[in-house]
Amino acid sequence: MPTSTVSRRVAALENRLNTQLLRRTTRTIGLTDDGRAFAARCGEAIESIDAASQSLSRDGKGLTGRLRVSAPFFACSELFGPYLLEFAAAHRDLVMDLRLTNGTPDLLEDDIDLAFQFGPLRDSRLIARKLWPVRYVLCVSAKLAPSADALRHPDQLADLPCVVTPPLDHWLFERGGEKANITPQTRGATIEDLALGAVAVRRGLGFGYLPESLVIDASSNGLVTVDLNGWQPVARDLFAVYPATRQLSSKVRAAVEHAVAGRDWYKRSSGMNRGV
């Protein structure tokens, strides 16, 4: 459809609603607050129509439309990406729009149907299904390993060089019923990517708090796992989340159930049966 036609129809809609939906400048165009609210309500209506259409199919067959999915880079590439693509391959009339980000998207604002996020979750507008825990380890390069020999408590890490991988800038440890939460103060590097963060730790930039799957066979990777007198990093739970305000469509429901069923697949593919 030509841009001029879209402009005329939007202008006509604004006249009918007696409100401005778009904020226009010579360089940009964006939604006003009223426009954003109106678009969200229209999205809900479209989702309801889609859900009604999808409900006519049986056993999840015949899923159609677009499924907008958000996931962290590491979780998708290392944990469940191939399994998620199996779902897409099984429903060829369904277009998967997979968006990778290490940030925390606003599912309503960004029009995301389904997201995979690490806990703890703080958005009460979301419904969450727990998938599996991801184990973490504290590690350091062989070069810096001698500096770890005297460590007995996580608090001692606060003033040592650390490689921090946002948004995980608080490191949680446990021993028995005790917990310790530290925020590294001396940062050898801040890197918004776990895989590259592991490289930074290997290069001697500091201690790392990383998923176990990145440092399996640590010695062969130039890394040393650190024993903090029994203190262990707390596993982080991975969740499938979707907006509570939208009617759950059959395509989202099927994708969530597929993800939940991936628990055993994850155990087999990762070789990390402990703690899962």
- 133, 239 contact by CB (below 8 A): no
Q: Tokens at residue 14, please? A: 């604004």
Q: How far apart are alpha carbons 116 and 123 in whole angstroms?
A: 13
140 beta partners: 224
For helices 262-270 and 250-260, give the axis angle rounded to 10 degrees: 40
Give me the sheet containing 178-182, strands edge to edge.
Answer: 178-182, 171-175, 232-233
User: What is the per-residue pLDDT for 91?
Assistant: 93
Residue 102 has a pLDDT of 81
Which structural domains are found in the chain, ordered by start? Answer: 57-133+237-270 (3.40.190.10), 136-234 (3.40.190.10)
Return d(Cα 11, Cα 140) in angstroms, integer. 60
HSE-CB for 35 with a 13 A CA cutoff: 13
The pLDDT value given to residue 68:
94
Q: Which pLDDT does position 275 carry in this prediction?
A: 38
| Ranges of the chain whose pLDDT falls below 50 | 58-60, 272-276
User: What pLDDT score was predicted for residue 55?
Assistant: 52
